[in-house]
Structure 1
Amino acid sequence: MYPLLVASLITVTIAVERFSLYRRSGTNMALIKAHLPQLLMDGEYCQATALCEKAGGIVGGLLTNAIAHRRVVNNLSEFLSGESIAAASRLKDHLNYVSAIVTIAPLLGLLGTVTGMINSFDVLSIAEGQPFAITGGVAEALVATAFGLLVAIVAMMIHVWLSQVVNRLISNIEMGASLCLTSIKED
Structure 2
Amino acid sequence: MIKLFHSPQEFSTPDLAVQSPSRRLVSLVVTLLVTLVLFSPFASAQERLPKVVEQRGDQLVEAADPDGPLPESVAAVKQRQVIPSTPEDIIEEMGYFLLPFVIASIISMWFIIERLVILRSGRVIPRHFVSRFLKLLRDGKLNARSALKLCEENPSPIASVFAHGVRKWGKPSVEVEQAIIDGGERQLSQLRKHLRVINGVATVAPLMGLLGTVIGMIQAFNEIANSSAMGKAEELAVGIAMALLTTAFGLGIAIPSLIMYMYLAGRVDGLVMEMDQNAQDLVHLISAEGLAASAASRKATTTTTTTAKTKTDKAASKS
Q: Deviations over 1:140-164 (max 9, x none)?
A: 2121011111111011111012112
User: Aligned residue for 2:142?
Assistant: 45
Where do 5+ consecutive residues of structure 1 fail to align?
none
Q: Secondary structure, in 3 states, of the residue corresponding to 1:45?
A: coil
Moved more, 140-149 or 98-107: 98-107
CA distance in 2, matches of 1:85, 1:63: 13
- Cα deviation per residue 1:111-144 (whole Å; 9 max; x = unaligned)? 1111111111011011122334345422321210
Aligned residues of 1:105 and 1:149 also touching (Cα < 8 A): yes
Judge conservation of contact 2:169–2:287 (CA < 8 Å) in 1.
no
Structure 1: which amino acid aligns with 2:200? A
Q: Which residue is equivalent to 1:130?
A: 231
What is the number of equivalent residue pairs in this alignment? 185
Q: Tell whether the 8 Å contact from 2:170 to 2:287 is kept in structure 1 after alignment.
A: no
2:249 match = 147
In the alignment, the residues of structure 2 paired with residue 156 and residue 36 of structure 1 have an alpha-carbon distance, to the nearest angstrom, of 38
**Matched residue, 1:179:** 281
- Identity, in percent, stands at 26
1-structure distance, mates of 2:287, 2:137:
6
Structure in which a larger fraction of residues adopt helix: 1
Q: Secondary structure at the match of 2:284?
A: helix
The separation in 2 between residues aligned to 1:53 and 1:176, in whole angstroms, is: 17
* Structure 2: tracts of 5 or more residues without a match: 1-96, 292-319
Call closer, same or farther: CA 1:117–1:65 in 2, change over 3 Å: same
Among residues 77, 82, 96, which one is paired with 2:182 in the alignment?
A: 82
User: What is aligned with 2:117?
Assistant: 20
**Structure 1 residues 55, 168: closer, same or farther in 2, change over 3 A?**
farther
TM-score under structure 2 normalisation? Answer: 0.51
For 2:197, the equivalent position in structure 1 comes to 97
Larger radius of gyration: 2
Higher deviation after alignment, 97-106 or 80-89 = 97-106
Say if 1:21 and 1:162 are closer, same or farther in 2 by CA, change over 3 A. same
1:80, 1:177 within 8 Å by CA — same for their partners in 2?
yes
Amino acid at match of 1:172: E
1:9 aligns with 2:111: no
Q: Cα offset for 1:92?
A: 0.7
Match of 1:29 in 2: 127
- The code of the aligned residue for 2:113 comes to V
Q: Does 1:158 align with 2:260?
A: yes
Where relative contact order (Cα < 8 A, 6+ residues apart) is larger, the structure is: 1
Contact 1:27 1:56 in 2 (8 A): no
Measured on the aligned residues, the alpha-carbon RMSD in Å equals 2.8
The aligned amino acid for 2:242 is E
* Conserved 8 A contact 1:39-1:48: no
One-letter amino acid of the structure 1 residue matched with residue 260 of structure 2 = I
CA distance in 2: counterparts of 1:109 and 1:78, whole angstroms: 47
Partners of 1:102 and 1:151 within 8 A in 2: yes
Q: What is the alpha-carbon distance in structure 2 between the residues aligned to residue 29 and residue 53 of structure 1? A: 16
